[in-house]
Homo-oligomer: A and B are copies of this chain.
Amino acid sequence: MEKVNVGFIGLGCRGGGLMGTIIDFYDVNITAVCDKYEDRVEEKSEFVKEKKGVLPFGTTDYREVLAREDVDAVIIATDWELHIPIAVDAMRAGKAVALEVGGAYSTEDCFDLVKTWEDTKVPFMFLENCCYNREELLATAMVRRGMLGKIVHCHGAYAHDLRGEVTHGKENRHYRLRNYLGRNCENYPTHELGPIAKVLDINRGNRMVSLVSVASGSFGLERYVNDNKDTINPELIGAKFMQGDIVNTIITCAGGETITLRLDTTLPRFYNREFTVHGTKGLYEQSANTVFFDGDPEKYWISADYIKENINNADKYAYLLPPAWQNITKEMLDSGHGGMDYLELRDFIDRLKNGDDMPIDVYDAASWMCISCLSEQSIREGGAPVGIPDFTNGEWKNRHSLDVYDLL
């Protein structure tokens, strides 16, 4: 396979972003584009024609994309509800799948994803771009070298003010809106959980066993709507949102490790993922890109002083980063989310062409995505512990560690 023919299913903000990154790849053609909204199909068809000189096939029915011989792989970036059904249909049609992230609505869906892959063995990758991000890889490289000791606890957050994105415009077509109106859960766990699962070798020697989730009340969006009556979708005035502003989840792993996740998207704040790795020999905190090793002087009483003197001290260890980050160019950094979009798509295409195993596979996708529906259950049951299925059917004990890059 010298060139990969790619079909895009889902052409909203995220699909468009991924297209903008991959369209410059020398070894990728975009042969088909699909969205349920006709205007997006037209717009992206024009975009591809301008950039590549060839008008792609355009449709509002994703099955037409899957039926085409000039499509080797599909990139799925639809609303969250359709992620798994389309990925399953794509694998059944023999199309390699790159699936954008999101949470699942049932564990049955997640099992369906896994079974379909096991039946078809079609290449499948879950596009968790944060697994390719610089800080996460730097900390993971420290872990692989044993610099942080036995890892005991990891923390992460999706702390991103989405009030505007959820509610914007007179005709809101954002799938997030209906989730915030009618659902209460950790609805977007993978940006922080993905890199943590890599660190902890989840599904590869370790697994997530159970979780508890607790949600705060819902106050942020209601206030936001009330404060922006003039510009907001008028249907939202007076609406009640079911989604709690803050959802905290604690996951327990087979190795005794714990993971905490916080969804934090409907109150004012600055962006943060708070990727934190804490072991018997040290601590890495992404918030200040700070690392502390056992024996370092602990002279600071309040951490603001520590952070002030040590912010970005982890950059001393930048030599541990894999070549993809050592050799990154300005174009790659500028092509989406500070480089990680380029790297994840480049890795997907390279592995597809070489027939290599995908480093973020269906077992990862299923176990990370199921946190959403399991957290929904736990919240509904007052924070009760809920078991996390073993999608590997016991194989997690035999599967070897696999990072997105070789970090040793």
Q: A-side interface residues toward B, CB under 8 Å?
A: 135, 149-150, 152-153, 159, 161, 210, 212, 214-220, 223, 244-246, 248, 250, 252, 255-258, 260, 262, 264, 267-274, 278-283, 286-289, 292-296, 298, 300-304, 306-308, 311-312, 337-338, 382-385
In the complex, the chain B residue whose C-beta lies closest to that of A250 is B214
Q: Is A295's CB under 8 angstroms from B268's CB? A: yes
Other 11 A-B pairs with CB < 8 A, given A149-B223, A384-B385: A150-B219, A212-B250, A246-B258, A260-B260, A268-B281, A271-B301, A273-B302, A301-B338, A307-B307, A308-B311, A383-B383
Q: What's the Cα separation between A384 and B269 when bound, in Å?
A: 31
List 9 contacting pairs A-B, 8 Å CB cutoff, sorted by A: A152-B245, A152-B246, A212-B385, A216-B256, A217-B256, A270-B296, A286-B303, A288-B308, A307-B307
Copies in the complex: 2
In the complex, the chain B residue whose C-beta lies closest to that of A255 is B217
User: With A287-B303, A301-B338 as given contacts, are A282 and B268 in contact (CB-CB < 8 Å)?
Assistant: yes
Partner of A384, one of B215, B289, B312, B384: B384
In the complex, the chain B residue whose C-beta lies closest to that of A307 is B288
Question: Which of A159, A219, A223, A286 has the most chain B CB atoms inside 10 A of its CB?
Answer: A219
- How many whole Å from A381's CB to the nearest CB in chain B? 8
Partner of A223, one of B153, B280, B304, B384: B280
Q: Is A300's CB under 8 angstroms from B223's CB? A: no
User: With A298-B271, A303-B274 as given contacts, are A258 and B248 in contact (CB-CB < 8 Å)?
Assistant: yes
Q: Is B307's CB under 8 angstroms from A152's CB? A: no
- How many whole Å from A135's CB to the nearest CB in chain B? 7
Q: What's the Cα separation between A256 and B250 when bound, in Å?
A: 19
Q: What's the Cα separation between A33 and B384 when bound, in Å?
A: 47
Chain B residues with CB under 8 Å of A287's CB are: 287-288, 303-304, 307
Chain B residues with CB under 8 Å of A274's CB are: 303
In order of increasing CB-CB distance, the 5 nearest A-B pairs are: A217-B256, A268-B294, A272-B303, A153-B246, A289-B304
In the complex, the chain B residue whose C-beta lies closest to that of A303 is B272
Q: Is A304's CB under 8 angstroms from B312's CB? A: yes
Q: What's the Cα separation between A81 and B291 when bound, in Å?
A: 36
Q: What's the Cα separation between A280 and B222 when bound, in Å?
A: 10
Q: Is B288's CB under 8 angstroms from A219's CB? A: no
Q: What's the Cα separation between A296 and B283 when bound, in Å?
A: 30
Q: Is A304's CB under 8 angstroms from B295's CB? A: no
Partner of A212, one of B153, B212, B292, B337: B212
Chain B residues with CB under 8 Å of A256's CB are: 216-219
Chain B residues with CB under 8 Å of A337's CB are: 301
Chain B residues with CB under 8 Å of A255's CB are: 217
Chain B residues with CB under 8 Å of A152's CB are: 216-217, 219-220, 245-246, 267
